[in-house]
Amino acid sequence: MVIDLHTHSTASDGTDTPEQLVQAAAAAGVDVLAITDHDTTAGWDPAEAALPAGLTLVQGTEFSCAWFGPNRRIGLHLLGYLYDRDDAELREARARLRESRLHRGEAIVNNLIGAGYPITWEQVTDISAGGAVGRPHIGRALVESGVVPDVGAAFADLLSPFSPYYVRNYDQDVFDMIRLVRNAGGVTVFAHPRARRRGQVVADEVIAEMAAVGLDGLEIDHPDLAPEDRADLRVLADQFDLVRTGSSDYHGTNKPIRLAAETTTHDQYEALLSRRNTAVAPIVLTT
Ligand code: AMP
Ligand code: FE
Ligand code: FE
Ligand code: ZN
């Protein structure tokens, strides 16, 4: 069974519509696909409506979070799966995160415009087209305007967290978010822990604390993780009884990674599902 538990559509910063995403997954031989757009559930219904025969859909969201230490903060992403999307607190959290993405995106664009780069905010919102705004949309505007050859080049320099034009996002406290998703019946997986080129990564003690408040898994097989880090994370997963997932983090043409470039084993997928509160959570959709 081919199981890919982390992908993006045009509901956030992917380039396939949710319909195209499920079709591409079926064509790539995927059996179980999670749609996990940033801070939104907008892709769930269109993906479900277009679900090809034989494909199972797992509804998820990649939440923008941070660990707030004594005198620093480290941004991180938390995957929430199969939670009740009508849960009021989570609804508010998603709306707040998307709202902040708008302001923060505009602030980055204004910084770039101030430095003389020929892009506009309208160009970026045309590209994001109602989806949750992210830096890849700004990257595409920079490509469109001929500033950089591709989105990857924009991330290497102008859009990197080390760039003078960078503005960070408002992020939800990760421990709160784990509790919120859990209360809404869902399960959580720490996305790409130790993805070092995205910025600072949290210490193992933070993962221990996340496990203590109810984290269910670690996304260990991810294109951004080095072999040594994956090996360390496997030890941590054993130690804290966490599920080990693998996923592509597919973004369509915004990134070179292909669907199912990394996958989750069937037993780990089942272990993740078994940790849901099925009295609250939505069902897994199978055709
Ligand atoms: P943001 O959510 O606005 O902070 O932007 C981060 C998003 O950009 C993540 O979803 C990543 O998948 C994406 N991203 C990070 N690095 C790159 C890269 N080198 N090329 C394309 N997309 C990237
Ligand atoms: Fe993304
Ligand atoms: Fe992420
Ligand atoms: Zn992602």
Ligand nearest the Cα atom of residue 247: 4
Choose the residue to mutate in 101, 135, 257 for probing ligand 1, maximizing ligand atoms within 8 Å of C-beta.
135
Task: Tell me what pLDDT residue 45 has.
Answer: 96
CA-62 nearest atom, ligand 1: 10
Q: Is the pLDDT of residue 44 over 90?
A: yes
Q: Is 199 in the pocket of ligand 1 (CB under 6 A)?
A: no
Return residues with CB closer than 5 A to ligand 3 (ion).
77, 191
CA-13 nearest atom, ligand 1: 10
Q: Is 136 in the pocket of ligand 1 (CB under 6 A)?
A: yes
Q: Give me the mean pLDDT over the 20-24 stretch.
A: 98
CA of 235 to the centre of ligand 2 (A): 27
Q: Is the pLDDT of residue 239 over 60?
A: yes
Q: Can you give the pTM of this predicted structure?
A: 0.96
CA of 222 to the centre of ligand 3 (A): 10
Task: Tell me what pLDDT residue 282 has.
Answer: 65
CA-134 nearest atom, ligand 1: 3
CA of 250 to the centre of ligand 4 (A): 7
CA-169 nearest atom, ligand 1: 4
Q: Is the pLDDT of residue 287 over 60?
A: no
Q: Give me the mean pLDDT over the 250-263 stretch.
A: 95
Q: Which protein residue's CA is at the shortest distance from atom 6 of ligand 1?
A: 135
Q: Which CA distances in Å does 70 have to 54, 177, 199? A: 49, 19, 18
The per-residue pLDDT for range 85-106, each reduced to its tens digit, is: 999 999 999 999 999 999 999 9
Q: Which protein residue's CA is at the shortest distance from atom 10 of ligand 1?
A: 13
Q: Any idea which of 168-182, 195-209, 211-225 has the lowest mean pLDDT?
A: 195-209
CA of 280 to the centre of ligand 3 (A): 26
Q: Is 152 in the pocket of ligand 1 (CB under 6 A)?
A: yes
